[in-house]
Amino acid sequence: MPIRLGPTPPALDAALVEKLTRVSFPTLGHYLEEGFADPGIRRLAGTARVVGRAVTVRTTATDSTMLHHAAGLVEAGDVVVVDTGGDVRHAPLGEVVASALAFRGAAGAVVDGTATDIEEIAPLGLPVYGRGLSMLTTKLHEIDAGGLNIPVVCGGVVVHPGDIVLADANGVLFASPAVLGALIDVALEDDAEEPELVEALRDGGRLGDLTGASATVASFVS
């Protein structure tokens, strides 16, 4: 497949981004089933929570030419999402690529594959997610394949350029601004109520009574 270059996605709505920085990401899991990367994608470097615009990159198993190109184009707050076509042996992201992203203000990188140079990446502070580490790296083979800002697959999820990437120690979520915009206020309300629920549990309350689950079970057996 020849190289495909898509347009730069639109900027994210600042008000939505601000709200997403405040929400507990697992709270969103109460409302969504799709968009969550499989648990094989985990945090390899960095500690900051990630909220950013997806810049999607499709590489081939051995060639990272497209990722090098993309690294020079990312904007502050972007999250580079790399589809390696299923390859988990060749690491496309190492110290040089991570440095390029960090110096341009990227919010993070998610690789559906491996990374390398993890000890050199750690001081950069760039959150990096992937399936593991490898000493076998990609090369600049200049293969006429791959793409930038096209739909890709990462962690079993189809990711579109301009999607929102949310990531923390629990995992990674990819979702459109429309999906997250529709539920963010409800999720924030849930977060605000949670301390009261925990306090009621501390005071001896039963979780099923507090959430209504016990009443539901009783209705099944009555």
Residue numbers belonging to the annotated binding site for substrate: 94-97
Closest of 37, 38, 39, 42 to residue 54, by C-alpha:
37
| Residues in binding site | 94-97, 117
Task: Show the tokens assigned to 136.
Answer: 């076998």
| Residues in binding site for Mg(2+) | 117
Instruction: Measure Cα distances from 125 to 19, 49, 67, 133, 222 in Å.
Output: 23, 11, 20, 17, 56
